[in-house]
Amino acid sequence: MPSLGADMSEGKLLGWRVKEGDWVEKGQILAEIETQKAAVEMESFKSGQILCLRAKPQDVLPVGALIAEMELDEASCSSTASSSSSISSSPSKSRALEPEPEPEPEIPQRQTPVTPPEAKAPRPVRASPAAKRLAQEKKLDLSQIQGTGKDGVIELSDVERFTPTVTAPLTALRRKAIAQAMSRSKREIPHYYLRTDVRMDSVLKQLDQWNENRPVAQRILLSALWVKAVSDTLIAFPELNGFYENDQFVAQAPIHIGIVTALKEGGVMVPALLDTHEKSLVQLGAEFNDLIDRTRRQKLRTHELTEGTFTITNLGDLGVEEVIGVIFPPQVAILGIGRLHKAPFVTGDELSVGYRCRLTLSGDHRVTDGILGSRFLRRLTQNIERIQIND
Partner 1 sequence: MTKEQIQEQIRFIFNQVAPEINFESLDLTRPLTDQAEIDSYDFLNILSHIEQRLGVRVPDAVIRDLPHLEALITYIEANASASPKEI
Which residues of this chain interact with partner 1, rule CB under 8 A?
A: 204, 207-208, 211-212, 215-217, 219, 221-223, 262, 264, 289, 292-293, 317-319, 340
Shortest approach of partner 1 to residue 37 CB, angstroms? 20
Do 142 and 135 meet the contact criterion of CB atoms below 8 Å apart?
yes
CA 87, 89, 93, 99 torsion-angle sign: negative
Cα Rg, the chain, nearest whole Å: 22
Shortest approach of partner 1 to residue 44 CB, angstroms? 30
Backbone angles phi, psi at 11, to 5 degrees: -145, 160
Q: How many Å apart are CA 261 and CA 234, to the nearest integer? A: 21
Do 269 and 261 meet the contact criterion of CB atoms below 8 Å apart?
yes
Q: How many Å apart are CA 357 and CA 322, to the nearest integer? A: 9
Shortest approach of partner 1 to residue 46 CB, angstroms? 34
Q: How many Å apart are CA 109 and CA 366, to the nearest integer? A: 31
Question: Whose Cβ is closer to partner 1: residue 130's or residue 221's?
Answer: 221
Going by the DSSP 8-state scheme, the letter that residue 276 receives in this structure is G
Q: How many Å apart are CA 88 and CA 69, to the nearest integer? A: 15
Question: Whose Cβ is closer to partner 1: residue 151's or residue 212's?
Answer: 212
Question: Whose Cβ is closer to partner 1: residue 90's or residue 314's?
Answer: 314
Shortest approach of partner 1 to residue 388 CB, angstroms? 18
Query: In this structure, are strands 310-314 and 257-259 parallel, antiparallel, or unpaired?
Result: parallel
Going by the DSSP 8-state scheme, the letter that residue 151 receives in this structure is G
Q: How many Å apart are CA 56 and CA 12, to the nearest integer? A: 10
Do 47 and 107 meet the contact criterion of CB atoms below 8 Å apart?
no
Question: Whose Cβ is closer to partner 1: residue 150's or residue 264's?
Answer: 264
Shortest approach of partner 1 to residue 292 CB, angstroms? 5
| Secondary structure class of 293 (helix, strand, coil) | helix
Shortest approach of partner 1 to residue 317 CB, angstroms? 4
Shortest approach of partner 1 to residue 359 CB, angstroms? 17
One-letter amino acid at 21 equals G
Where are the strands (E) in the chain, listed by range? 10-16, 23-24, 29-34, 39-43, 48-53, 60-62, 68-72, 191-199, 242-245, 248-251, 257-259, 261-262, 268-269, 272-273, 300-301, 310-314, 333-337, 341-347, 350-364
Shortest approach of partner 1 to residue 9 CB, angstroms? 32
Question: Whose Cβ is closer to partner 1: residue 221's or residue 372's?
Answer: 221
Shortest approach of partner 1 to residue 289 CB, angstroms? 7
Do 50 and 29 meet the contact criterion of CB atoms below 8 Å apart?
no
